[in-house]
Each structure stands twice: as structure tokens, then as C-alpha cells.
Chain A
Amino acid sequence: MRQMAGTLNRTWLTILGILGLAAGIALLLQSAGALQSIANTAPAGEKVVSGDLQPFFAQSWVVVLLLVMGAIIGVLGLLWVIAQIPRKNPADAYRLDADGAQGRTICDPSVLATAIENQINTLPGVVGSSAMLRGTAHEPDLTLKVTVNDRADVQELLRHLETSTLPDLSTALEAPLHRRRLQIDISGRTQGTGTVVPSTGTVLK
């Protein structure tokens, strides 16, 4: 239900991986003396730092540069860490009717989501559910997580959803459902409303 930063992570890991790989290869070529013939760099036997570092670091612009670099790297790192927190990314309030002269109707999607959950929880075999509405009132986007017990008829549950619950939502919004995503989980618990009754017995043939 919650969304992760998968694309962001892949993109930045690729960029940093390529940078690290390129820097490492360049350093190894330089150490072997191969880079000198290609890019006319310093000979392999020469010192990495030719002069004294003291006067260089005494300049005030070096301090400012380090400060700015540190701030940029730190902020980027912090933003990347924060981006790892899973997000709900919910929809804004649904604007069902926006005719200013006649008034306007606004609906909180969480109200509809609660109604959907309550309806699904009464279906046979359902232990619990959570619904999240995204998109807009004209293109609603529903994500459902339904937990059923291990004896539930999943295909029957899907038929119930497709023929009853989802059409009810479309009717309420007066718009067809644009997208429906459903994750089914299994639980050993039995339904709270009690339609599953475990029983034992002997079958006589």
C-alpha cells in the first residue's frame, strides 16, 4: 500500500556506482603509468601533491568551498535518507462538483475508503482490509489490501468485489474506476464477524 523510492534509489546508486568505478579505474591507470600516455598526466613516479598544502588551505575561498560542498553533500544525503520512509501518497480531496454558482461538493477520499473497508470486511472469509483512494474524483485509483483466512475462496471474493463493491464505488463517485490494485494476504485468524466455523467429524462412506 505504501510507496517506496525504488526508482530514485536505482538512479542514484547507478550514478554513484559509475562515478566510483570511473574514478577507481582512472586512479589505477594513473598508478600504472598508462594514463600519462593517454591524457598527458603526471608520471607515475611523481608525488601526488607537488607543493606544500599549507598555503593552499590557508586561502579563504577554500574554506568557503569546503563549507558549500559539505552543505550540499549533507543535504543530499539527508534527503535521500528521508526518501526511504514509505509514503502513503494519498489523493487530495475529491471535488465531485465544482460549479461555483451552484456550490461545490468535496469528499474526503478516506471516508469512501472506510466505507469500502466496512463493506469488504463483511465478505465471506475476510479477516481485515485496508483501502487507499488516489487519483481524482473523475479517475479514481483504488488500492486494496485484503486479508483473508486460509480457507477463503479467493476467486469468489474477487467476484464479489468486481460485481458489488467496486460498482458501488463507481456509482457513488458517478465515475468509472480508473485503476484497481488488490493485494491479498493470508492469515491464520478467523473472521471477526464469524462466518467460518471450524468443525470436526467422521465421513461415512
Chain B
Amino acid sequence: MSRNDGQSTRLRRRPSRTVPASIVGILLLAAGVALVWLAVARLFDGTWSTLLQGPRDWLTRLAWNDPDVWGVGIAAVVVGLILLMCALIPGKFSALTVRNASGDGADEERPAPERETVMTRRAVAHLAKAQCVQIDGVSSASATATTKRVHLSVKTSLRDTGDLRTRVTDGVRDRLNAIGLDPVPRVTATVESKS
């Protein structure tokens, strides 16, 4: 858990849940500051802030089977479930694994190090797009990549797109294979004629 141990962490990782953690952290901070402020104000003034009058009256007239208590209970269950889902749903990997070169530089005196080679999803999409626009007949292209699939949206000026989709998917798949992505993601494409 510590990040002061001077060790590297895996580059191919799941999302780190920064957004929900930041939101909950800021809410906790705000709640803590509010409590401290109320307590300090009470110590200096000798009376509780008038801001507490409303919640105090609300609590005093509240019964256990009141609709407000049901509402608070349901809200707590929903918030609890959301936090649990944020923590437990693993999310997509940030990068794709690249096959290491065959020669690892190891010998009897020097054992092979633990190796990890990755390419980010954005880099794979960039590469697929760059390869795609090299193919004859492609006017422009955009690409999206996940760890399992690369999808290309191709625009062409050809009236008859013919085998362009096959040429695009084959060309991009060959390039991804040559780079050494392991496993090679499934390549799909949609071709749109501009005319």
C-alpha cells in the first residue's frame, strides 16, 4: 500500500478509483471542518450555533417509522452500494501487454530480470489509425482501443467500398501482430463512403 518503498508497481493496472476517493475524501474533510468549527464556536461563544436549531427540531419530532427515517435509510443503502461498486468492480486495464523480445540478455552470471512491457490503449488506437490511413482508399480514420478490441471508423471517397474493410482490418491486425501485442486484439472496422 505504501508508495515510499522505492519499488515499481505494475504498469498494466486497473483504474485507481481516484474520482470516488477524492469526492469521499473532500466530503469527509468538509464534515470534519464543520464539526470542529461548531465545537470551537461553542467553546468561544458558550452557546451552540443557530444553524443547529433546524436539525435539532427535526430530530426531536422524528419517530422511527417516519418517512424521513426511511429516506435516510434508503440513501445510506444506495451510497453504501455505490461505494462498494466503485471499490469492487475491477474496471478495464489501462494498457495491453507486449511480447518481450526473444533475446533477454540473460546468461549464467546474469539472471533474466522480471520484465513487463506494455502499450497504452491510447497508443494502440493511435498506431491503428496511423496504419489505417496508409492504406489505399482510406481518406480519414479514427480508432478506439480496449484491451480486447480495436475499432476503426473509416471514411473513403470510393463509391464501391468493395474489400476495403477486409484490407483495413487485415493491415491493422498484421501491424499489431508485428509490434508484438499479446494477445492481438480483435480488429473491427466500419467503412463510410463520403459520396
Measured CB to CB, the residues of A under 8 A from B are: 3-14, 16-25, 27-28, 30-33, 42-49, 52-53, 57, 63-64, 66-67, 69-78, 80-81, 83-84, 87, 89-92, 132, 134-136, 141-143, 150-151, 153-155, 158-159, 161-163, 166-167, 170, 176-188
Contacts and interface: CB of A to CB of B under 8 A. Distances in A.
B81 interface: yes
B43 to A, nearest CB: 6
A73 B116 contact: no
A196 B99 CA distance: 24
A74 B30 CA distance: 7
B131 interface: yes
Interface string B88-130: 1000000100111111110000110111111110111011001
Chain A CB within 10 A, most for which of B28, B40, B42 = B28
29 contacts: A6-B15, A13-B84, A17-B87, A20-B80, A21-B81, A22-B80, A24-B75, A27-B69, A28-B74, A31-B65, A31-B66, A47-B60, A70-B31, A74-B31, A76-B28, A77-B27, A77-B32, A80-B25, A89-B5, A154-B98, A155-B178, A158-B117, A158-B180, A166-B105, A181-B8, A181-B117, A183-B11, A183-B118, A185-B123
Contacts of A10: 17, 87-88
Contacts of B78: 24
Which size bracket describes the interface of B in this complex?
35 or more
A179 to B, nearest CB: 5
B83 A90 contact: no
Interface majority SS (helix, strand, loop, mixed), chain B: helix
Given A6-B17, A162-B103, A182-B118, A177 B113 contact: yes
Contacts of A7: 1
B63 A66 contact: no
Contact of A45 (B1, B38, B64): B64
Contact of A44 (B7, B64, B117, B120): B64
* 7 nearest A-B pairs in the assembled complex, by CB-CB distance: A74-B32, A70-B35, A24-B76, A77-B28, A20-B80, A21-B80, A17-B83
Contact of B8 (A5, A13, A74, A134): A134
B47 to A, nearest CB: 9
